[in-house]
Each structure stands twice: as structure tokens, then as C-alpha cells.
Chain A
Amino acid sequence: MEEGRVVRVAFQQADGEVKLRPAVVLKNLPAGPDLVVCAVSGKLHRYMQGVDILVDEPHPDFPGMGLPFPSLIRSAYLTTVPLTAVQDEIGSVGKDTLHRILAQLTTYLQEP
């Protein structure tokens, strides 16, 4: 799965229910194979300055992400998921946005 792709991940809940959530693929791990992804949320009120990236209608990546609503790319909400939990690809972010996600995360982690 190519880095920068926006995918739908099937998250199974404790009660067995499955929730489909969008995420951006940041890295492929050889084992598994697994993917490092970060969350994409439609709850804009959760925006965190310097960590989240708002992708709304004026943003150049909005049409290509495949989501019909403005969203937050949550750079700091990372997880590793098995490739088998990724249902499909719905879009992608541009190279600039992918670079910004990684740069913001790096900056955030290096802050004292």
C-alpha cells in the first residue's frame, strides 16, 4: 500500500461491531505486512494547532482524499494496523501534505 494513500480501516470494537474509519498510510512495515497510519477525523472541533492538518474545501487535497466532508489529519494519532484490516483505498494526499504530516510529527516529538 503506497504511502500517502487514504484508506478505510476496519476497526473491530470489543462488542464485535466493526467501524470503518479513514486513515492516511504513512509507512509500510515489512512484517505482517503492517501499515503505520494516522487517523483522519471528521470532528473538526478536535483540531490541535501544530499537530492536526485541516483539509477543507479550499485545501488542494480535498477532492483527492475521497471524503465528502472536511476532515482533520491527526498526525499524532498513529497506529500500526495489519494490511488485512484495510478494506480499501478511497483517495490520497499529495506529497506536500504527506511531507507536512511527517514534518509536523517530527517537530512535535522533538519539542522539549
Chain B
Amino acid sequence: MKQVVLDTAQATTPQELYAVLEREVLQQGDSVKVLQRPMDEHLKIPLHIVVLLAVIWYMHDKRKNDQFAATLLDDVFRKYDSAEELERELKATFDVTVTMETVQPPPSDWPSLSMATYEQAAYGEDEPDISGIAVREPNPEYRPWKKDA
């Protein structure tokens, strides 16, 4: 019994995962340890599923005793070399389009956002210009906002 390590920094596609299992000669009774980098909690579930499917696929493929499952997994993993191929077939067969978009994390600069909202509520749109009035004492701690902040 041995432990096979799957490092997701090295292998992420089913084919790459399969290749690692084959190289390490995964056998009945072995364990598989997945090393993953810090990521969005929601991404851990699909990655976990892909790894489990890759292991099932590999084991069925080696045992050759569950032809239906092996064929099904072959269809899923071997037929398509990339997500683009799968997307094309989905589009051609069902006219369904799947797109991926990275959702930007909320800005962490809450003081800036909070202050902007407050300014709109507390002051008028056309307040008198005070940029040229006399200064009694400059604030040495003042840090001008960066334009792209």
C-alpha cells in the first residue's frame, strides 16, 4: 500500500491526473493525496470531483471489468482534449453556450467607497469651491488619493 500524491500545480486536467496515476502505478489499497494551492472555497468542490473521476476512470480502465462505466468515463475524458472542444459540441448538438467569467472580488478599499457615498449624501452637488482658501495648518499625515485607487 502506498500513497500517490497529486499536486494540482502540476496536474489539473483529467489526462494529466491520469498520467500521474499511471506513472505512480496506483493499485487497489493505495491512497491518493491531493495537494492544492489556496483557492476560492467553491473551486475546491469541482477540483475534488475531477480528481475522484480521474481516479475512478483510471481504476476502471486498469481492471477492465466495468465496461459501461469505463466507456462512459472514456467518453467524458478521452473524447475531448480541451474545454473548447466540449463547448463546440454542446453548441452544435444543443445550441447551448456556456461561458466562464471571473468575478472580481469586492474592493477592499471600503473607506474610499464609504466616504464617496457620504459625500454625496451630506453635501450638495455644487458646493462652494474651497480649494483656494487659507490653510491654518497642513496635516502632515495627509496622503493624497491615488488616481487608480
In the complex, are the beta carbons of A84 and B135 less than 8 A apart? no
Cβ of A74: which chain B residues have Cβ within 8 Å of it?
A: 122
Q: Determine whether A81 belongs to the interface, using a CB cutoff of 8 Å to chain B.
A: yes
Cβ of B130: which chain A residues have Cβ within 8 Å of it?
A: 8, 20-22, 67, 90
Contact of A66 among B114, B124, B133 (CB under 8 A): B133
Q: Mark B103-114, 1 if CB is under 8 A from A, else 0.
A: 000000001111
Q: Which bucket holds chain A's interface residue count?
A: 35 or more
In the complex, are the beta carbons of B119 and A88 less than 8 A apart? no
Cβ-closest chain A residue relative to B111: A82
B43-79 interface with A by 8 A CB criterion: none
Expressed in whole angstroms, the Cα–Cα distance for A69 and B149 within the complex equals 32
**What are 7 A-B pairs at a CB distance below 8 A?**
A7-B139, A8-B130, A11-B115, A67-B133, A79-B122, A88-B136, A92-B136
